[in-house]
Amino acid sequence: MGKVVALVDDLFFQMKLAETAKQLGLDVKVAANGDALMGLLESAPKLVIVDLNARSQPLQAIARVRQASKDIRVVGFVSHVQTQLAAQAQAAGCNEVLPRSSFAQNLAAILSASKD
């Protein structure tokens, strides 16, 4: 079973993430803040998803994930108009930053890439 962890405080996206992962047979754990996310890294996930609009300092969380592991794929999502935030996320260590709509539309494919 693939392992995915996420820093997402938007309930709509938490539910969408959980439902899509369940359909794919993936295990997803959601953290409410950076400290909780770091705790979830102990399970050696293959993918970290970060809502760049999360209220709990997502850029710092990405930097901490990168310090802990250079190999984990980190995907962030953000409103398409927030180009500066997207650039900051990539500078912090995001492998990929997607517009929120594209992330939602391609969620199954993004999650499937983390399967064993």
Burial of 95 (0-12, 13-18, 19+ CB in 10 A): middle
Cα 63 to Cα 93: distance, rounded to the nearest angstrom: 6
Tokens 């901490």, residue?
Answer: 64
Averaged pLDDT score across all residues of the chain: 93
All structural domains of the chain, each given as residue ranges with its CATH number in brackets, are 3-112 (3.40.50.2300)
Tokens 């260590």, residue?
Answer: 93
Q: What confidence tens digit (pLDDT) does each residue in 29-50 have?
A: 999 999 999 999 988 999 999 9
Per-residue pLDDT, averaged over 75-97, amounts to 94
* pTM attached to this predicted model: 0.94
